[in-house]
Amino acid sequence: MPTDAAAQSQHAMHHTEVLDSAVAPRFAHRVRFTRGALDTANPALRALFASDPGIAARRAVVVLDAGVAAAQPDLAARLHAYLDAHSGAVPAICEVATVPGGEDAKADTRVADLVVDLVERHRIDRKSFVIAIGGGAVLDAAGYGAAIAHRGVRLVRIPTTVLAQDDAAMGVKNGINRFGKKNFVGAFAVPFAVLCDELLLASLPDAVYRAGFSEAVKIALLKEPAYFARIERDAARIAARDLDAASPVIRRSAELHLRHIVDGGDPFEANEARPLDFGHWAAHRLESMSRHAVSHGDAVALGLLLDCRYSNLRGWLSDAGHARIRACIAALGLPTRHPLLADSGALLAGLEEFREHLGGRLTVTMLRSHAPADGGPEHFSGFEVHELDAGLVARAASELA
Ligand SMILES: NC(=O)c1ccc[n+]([C@@H]2O[C@H](COP(=O)([O-])OP(=O)(O)OC[C@H]3O[C@@H](n4cnc5c(N)ncnc54)[C@H](O)[C@@H]3O)[C@@H](O)[C@H]2O)c1
Ligand SMILES: [Zn+2]
């Protein structure tokens, strides 16, 4: 038995002073939608910088998606002209660097390294800017570079795909792929501003354009029955690229993603549940299995179909509800089958990858039907499960192969 004195001295030696604190920084997340952002008469881009009294001394480097540069060859010149016309109220542009677009931008550290180099070469300080223009992949890779240079220089995102406008650019994270795994390296970082211009979408190939609506379907199913009904109603017009039908759907998706991130209480994803990743465990795996031949948006469409069929097989989602969701995804011109889904073993290996990426227990969102009392159309809600029945996943996947 230790004596009282010995116990006391041991206690003193092991004394731990506890300074634990909650860190709750506040960020402004500026998000704007406009048309014709680079028309010199449009004040939207200039207005992004209005909160900065030192703007006249700020500099910017621009990272431009090569796919956009090829499809809109006058874009860099128009950006120069805009910034020249508003000189003193916007940052001075030092260089426009064109980088590979699509998932290649996230394949290695080249784009992020280039951003770090540009920051050094042009003396971009932490109050100055990286302006990234492109699809979600270029925004993710350039955003990662901007987040690590000087531990974070200001990032302005100008998204140029449907998916980047209705989802990716709203996020407060960036990333690149490594070890054949999506977004293995990256950081949480709130952008300085996001400016969406629907006219920039005009040059998108049809498949890239349509792929972006899978994220709109995802968030509509989880958050807003009337919004899902609108997408169902207008799906054919959206697929035919009727902007009157598509623009409100893109904007609402962006807003619902933004609201979830800003008001959901977990912007940096510390919790186990990540409802915005509905349909994504299989989607990320399918992208990697296909070596990115399947785009993120297409993979999300297939991942949603898989998890909806699984929910249906488990008795959570009605046959009618399942049929409606399938029909909506098909009417949007999104894929409803892929041969790689025949390999359910390889697919299921993605579950552990997904769990590791989120941390903690496996948490996957599934869908449930609710029959309304008044006899109207049923609606849906997401809920979390912590294990999946491998046999039923294999059955659902084989039907989509
Ligand atoms: N950070 C986040 O919160 C978040 C959220 C969702 C998705 N993402 C990521 O976004 C990526 C997918 O982004 P995406 O769907 O925008 O596709 P993408 O960035 O892969 O771009 C697809 C293709 O379109 C081209 N392109 C882009 N804009 C164009 C335009 N206006 N005209 C002609 N061509 C154009 C690109 O060069 C590329 O070849 C994935 O890597 C995904 O993981 C990130
Ligand atoms: Zn996604």
pLDDT 10s digits, 250-308: 999 999 999 999 999 889 988 888 889 999 999 999 999 999 999 999 999 999 999 99
CA–CA dist 35, 29 (Å, integer)? 20
Contact 136, 102 (CB under 8 A): no
If you take atom 8 of ligand 1, which residue's CA is the nearest one?
Answer: 168
CA–CA dist 296, 139 (Å, integer)? 14
Centre of ligand 2 to C-alpha 343, Å, is: 22
Contact 266, 285 (CB under 8 A): no
Cβ neighbours of residue 379 under 8 Å, at least 6 residues apart?
Answer: 225, 228, 369, 370, 372
Residues flanking ligand 1, CB < 6 Å: 65-68, 71, 101-103, 106, 134-138, 140, 160-161, 163-164, 167-168, 171, 173-174, 182, 200-201, 203-204, 208, 211-212, 295-297
The closest ligand to the CA of 280 turns out to be: 2
Centre of ligand 1 to C-alpha 329, Å, is: 19
Residues 337-388 have pLDDT tens digits of: 999 999 999 999 999 888 988 888 999 999 999 987 777 789 999 999 999 9
73 burial level (CB within 10 Å; 0-12, 13-18, 19+): exposed
Residues 141-160 have pLDDT tens digits of: 999 999 999 999 999 999 99
CA–CA dist 227, 249 (Å, integer)? 8
Pocket test for ligand 1, best of 173, 198, 208, 357 (most atoms within 8 A of CB): 208
Contact 122, 92 (CB under 8 A): no
Contact 300, 384 (CB under 8 A): no
- DSSP H helices, 149-212, are 162-166, 206-211
Question: Given this model, what pLDDT does residue 358 score?
Answer: 86
If you take atom 38 of ligand 1, which residue's CA is the nearest one?
Answer: 102
Question: Given this model, what pLDDT does residue 7 score?
Answer: 76
If you take atom 13 of ligand 1, which residue's CA is the nearest one?
Answer: 136
Contact 197, 37 (CB under 8 A): yes
Centre of ligand 1 to C-alpha 235, Å, is: 21
The closest ligand to the CA of 267 turns out to be: 1
CA–CA dist 193, 29 (Å, integer)? 6
If you take atom 10 of ligand 1, which residue's CA is the nearest one?
Answer: 136
Centre of ligand 1 to C-alpha 241, Å, is: 18
What rounded mean pLDDT belongs to the chain? 95
Phi-psi label, residue 33: left if phi above 0, alpha if psi -120 to 50, beta otherwise: beta
Question: Given this model, what pLDDT does residue 2 score?
Answer: 57
CA–CA dist 219, 260 (Å, integer)? 10
Centre of ligand 1 to C-alpha 97, Å, is: 17
Pocket test for ligand 1, best of 78, 98, 296 (most atoms within 8 A of CB): 296
Question: Given this model, what pLDDT does residue 122 score?
Answer: 98
Which range (4-8, 306-310, 315-319) has the least confidence? Answer: 4-8
Centre of ligand 2 to C-alpha 215, Å, is: 6
Centre of ligand 1 to C-alpha 311, Å, is: 29
The closest ligand to the CA of 170 turns out to be: 1
Is residue 11's pLDDT more than 90?
no
Give the sheet arrangement for strand 193-197, strand by strand: 30-34, 193-197, 154-159, 129-134, 59-65, 92-99
Question: Given this model, what pLDDT does residue 276 score?
Answer: 92
Contact 278, 299 (CB under 8 A): no
Average pLDDT on 73-95 reads 97
Residue type, 95: E
Question: Given this model, what pLDDT does residue 126 score?
Answer: 96
Domains assigned to the chain: 30-203 (3.40.50.1970), 220-399 (1.20.1090.10)
Residue type, 46: R
Confidence of residue 5 (pLDDT cuts 50, 70, 90): confident
* Residue 172: how many other CB atoms lie within 10 Å: 18
If you take atom 40 of ligand 1, which residue's CA is the nearest one?
Answer: 137
Which residues in 23-121 belong to E strands, given as ranges? 30-34, 59-65, 92-99
Question: Given this model, what pLDDT does residue 25 score?
Answer: 84
Cβ neighbours of residue 95 under 8 Å, at least 6 residues apart?
Answer: 61, 62, 118, 121, 122
The closest ligand to the CA of 217 turns out to be: 2
Q: Which atom of ligand 1 is nearest to the CA of 102?
A: 20
